[in-house]
């Protein structure tokens, strides 16, 4: 079943690729895409928190 969500492609070196796969399996994500989305979400939350603290 195709998704209607936007798609994009990234290029990663072997080390990053392996870290994503390690994260995926350690956290039992069903797909690499789901793991990457969680890593992006976590990174964006950390970025927003860091920027919020800089503005104080």
- Reported as a pLDDT band with limits 50, 70 and 90, residue 56 is low
Look at 56 and 21; give whichever has higher pLDDT: 21
| Alpha helix stretches (DSSP H) within the chain | 14-26, 32-54
**Residues 1-51: tens digit of each pLDDT:** 677 889 999 999 999 999 999 999 999 999 999 999 999 999 999 999 999
Look at 52 and 39; give whichever has higher pLDDT: 39
CA dihedral 34→39→42→46, nearest 10 degrees, is -160
Indicate the pTM of the whole model.
0.83
């Amino acid at each position: 079943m195709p998704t209607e969500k936007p798609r994009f492609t990234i290029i990663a070196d072997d080390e990053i690729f392996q870290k994503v796969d390690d994260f995926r399996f350690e956290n039992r994500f069903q797909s690499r895409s789901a793991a990457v989305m969680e890593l992006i979400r976590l990174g964006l939350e950390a970025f927003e928190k860091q920027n919020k603290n800089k503005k104080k």
